[in-house]
């Protein structure tokens, strides 16, 4: 009975509110991290400028590098801003991922599932392995 | 001072990008290059600003059913295939003739479409079998006309093929190619200008993300410039996406026609500068 109710809840999901919610949460998180990093930088140095040229990394290595920095030197303003940028870059990726899941499980539109999977595959290659 | 000016320019870029669907590069790239930023770094920053613009506008456009998620899903696959192909051959192709060619295409499109400058949008009456099968249709509530507007897309295969070309240009030149996306939505698929701008904003986010990842790998993204640009563009995008719902389709079309020649000239200038 509970399983049926859950399946009905999934079938009643609308794609627009789902995508909109993903985008909004991603933006709030990204902006929060960037503003926190800038505010910290300003308090520490009296300037907003973050000096950090990102050398030859894909998004995956960018994220790994920042997490490594946090584990070695702890959190600092540059890392917070970087994490905000990474969050922003991952929002469209998560949006496409949600679209694949929606077309497959809710709408059961196999053509669209295939099309969005193609986009997801290409983006995965470019962001994480390119 | 520089931080504040960059935020202001980014707000303007977000606002114009949100109502036109053509990204914010038309403002950001000249501002950054005039301020002494290298053109390649300016394009890299502009690409990330397009990702921010796409996310910022999509919140309102998707919720208000202005952005069509099926049209976006259908065209995105062609765009990213083109972008991947373009990025793969970018090292063996000279950028100068491509920029010049793109500038010529944009200016030629502007001249050809000029006679339609003041036209009222009309819904496609009888879409082909392909459009019906792909369910390229939708509706949104128009706050200006105070009615629900129903629309249908047409010529999906031609639109898809042209999106491969737009993606290819995006991958080759490292730009969002948003002007081409809007032209395809408007002139080929026959979508209402507001839906064209809103759906284009969604698609160019994915195309720009693919391009931005290449610039990131090339070490051409200066994070000192990123924070003010992202914050400014997001603010402009949120304001612009609210503004679009209060504009008529005719005004949106006029905005598109006004920006098209500016982008064409910018492409020519990039062509003359690049090697």
Q: Note whether A34 contacts B: Cβ–Cβ < 8 A.
A: yes
DSSP A53: E
Q: Note whether A91 contacts B: Cβ–Cβ < 8 A.
A: yes
- Average pLDDT, integer, range A2-28: 75
For residue range B196-232, what is the model confidence (pLDDT) as tens digits? 888 888 888 888 887 787 778 777 777 778 888 999 9
Whether complex ipTM tops 0.95: no
Q: Note whether A45 contacts B: Cβ–Cβ < 8 A.
A: no
What pLDDT is stored for residue A13 in this prediction?
64
Percent of chain A clearing pLDDT 90 (strictly above): 25
Residue A57's φ and ψ, nearest 5 degrees, are -130, 150
Q: Where are the domains of chain B?
A: 2-273
Residue A120 has pLDDT above 80, yes or no: yes
Q: Please give the helix or strand (H or E) that residue A62 lies within, else none.
A: helix A59-73
What pLDDT is stored for residue B152 in this prediction?
85
Q: Residue A123 sits in which domain range?
A: 2-129
Q: What is the 3-state secondary structure (H, E, C) of chain B?
A: CHHHHHHHHHHHHHHHHHHHCCCCHHHHHHHHHHCCCCHHHHHHHHHHHHHHHHHHHHHHHHHCCCCCHHHHHHHHHHHHHHHHHHHHHHHHCCHHHHHHHHHHHHHHHHHHHHHHCCCCCCCCCCCCHHHHHCCCEEEEEECCCCEEEEEECCCHHHHHHHHHHHHHHHHHHCCCCHHHHHHHHHHHCCCCHHHHHHHHHHHHHHHHHHHHHHHHHCCCEEHHHHHHHHHHHHHHHHHHHHHHCCCCHHHHHHHHHHHHHHHHHHHHHHHHHCC
| Interchain contact, B59 vs A53, CB within 8 Å | no
The pTM is what? Answer: 0.84
CA dist., res. A102 & res. B89, Å (int): 34
**Which residues on B lie below 8 Å from A119 (Cβ)?**
73, 76-77, 80, 206
User: Given pLDDT bands bounded at 50, 70 and 90, which one contains residue A114?
Assistant: very high
Nearest residue in B to A90, CA atom: B209
Q: CA-based diameter of chain B, in Å?
A: 57
What pLDDT is stored for residue A29 in this prediction?
95
How would you write the pLDDT of chain B (275 residues) with one tens digit per residue? Answer: 577 888 898 998 888 888 877 777 778 887 887 787 877 788 788 888 889 988 988 888 888 888 888 889 999 999 888 887 877 776 566 777 777 877 877 787 777 667 665 666 677 667 677 777 777 788 888 888 888 888 888 888 899 999 998 888 877 776 667 777 888 888 888 888 888 888 888 888 888 887 787 778 777 777 778 888 999 999 998 898 888 878 777 777 777 778 878 878 887 887 787 65
| Interchain contact, A112 vs B214, CB within 8 Å | no
CA dist., res. B92 & res. A25, Å (int): 40
**Given the DSSP bridges, would you call strands B147-152 and B137-142 parallel, antiparallel or unpaired?**
antiparallel
What pLDDT is stored for residue A5 in this prediction?
64
- Average pLDDT, integer, range A11-27: 83
What pLDDT is stored for residue B252 in this prediction?
74
Mean pLDDT, rounded, of chain A: 82
DSSP A54: E
CA dist., res. B164 & res. B75, Å (int): 9
| Interchain contact, A127 vs B209, CB within 8 Å | yes
| Interchain contact, A103 vs B74, CB within 8 Å | no
- Give how many domains chain A has, as a whole number: 1
Residue A10 has pLDDT above 60, yes or no: no
For residue range A53-65, what is the model confidence (pLDDT) as tens digits? 566 677 787 788 8
């Amino acid at each position: 009975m509970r399983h049926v109710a859950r399946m009905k809840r999934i079938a009643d999901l609308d794609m627009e509110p789902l995508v909109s919610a993903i985008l909004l949460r991603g933006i709030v998180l990204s902006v929060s991290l960037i503003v926190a990093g800038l505010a910290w930088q300003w308090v520490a140095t009296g300037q907003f400028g973050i000096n950090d040229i990102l050398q030859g990394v894909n998004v995956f290595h960018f994220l790994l590098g920042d997490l490594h920095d946090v584990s070695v030197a702890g959190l600092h303003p540059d890392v917070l801003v970087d994490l905000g940028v990474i969050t922003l870059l991952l929002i469209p990726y998560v949006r496409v991922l949600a679209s694949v899941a929606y077309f497959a499980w809710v709408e059961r539109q196999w053509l669209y599932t295939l099309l969005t999977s193609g986009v997801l595959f290409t983006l995965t290659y470019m962001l994480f392995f390119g | 001072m520089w931080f504040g000016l960059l935020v202001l320019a980014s707000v303007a870029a977000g606002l114009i990008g949100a109502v036109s669907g053509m990204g914010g590069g038309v403002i950001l790239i000249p501002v950054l290059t005039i301020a002494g930023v290298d053109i390649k770094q300016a394009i890299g920053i502009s690409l990330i600003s397009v990702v921010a613009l796409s996310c910022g506008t999509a919140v309102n456009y998707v919720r208000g059913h202005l952005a069509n998620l099926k049209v976006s899903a259908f065209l995105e696959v062609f765009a990213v295939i083109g972008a991947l192909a373009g990025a793969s051959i970018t090292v063996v192709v000279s950028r100068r003739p491509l920029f010049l060619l793109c500038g010529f295409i944009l200016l030629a499109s502007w001249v050809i479409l000029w006679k339609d400058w003041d036209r009222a949008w009309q819904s496609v009456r009888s879409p082909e079998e392909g459009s019906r099968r792909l369910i390229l249709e939708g509706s949104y509530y128009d706050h200006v006309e105070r009615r629900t507007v129903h629309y249908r897309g047409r010529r999906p295969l031609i639109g898809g093929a042209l999106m491969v070309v737009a993606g290819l240009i995006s991958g080759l030149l490292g730009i969002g190619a948003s002007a081409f996306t809007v032209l395809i939505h408007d002139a080929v698929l026959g979508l209402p200008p507001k839906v064209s701008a809103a759906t284009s904003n969604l698609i160019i986010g994915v195309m720009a993300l693919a391009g931005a990842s290449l610039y990131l790998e090339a070490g051409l993204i200066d994070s000192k410039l990123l924070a003010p640009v992202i914050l400014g563009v997001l603010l402009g995008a949120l304001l612009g996406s609210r503004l679009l719902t209060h504009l008529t389709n005719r005004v949106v079309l006029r905005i598109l026609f006004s920006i098209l020649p500016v982008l064409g000239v910018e492409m020519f200038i990039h062509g003359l500068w690049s090697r």
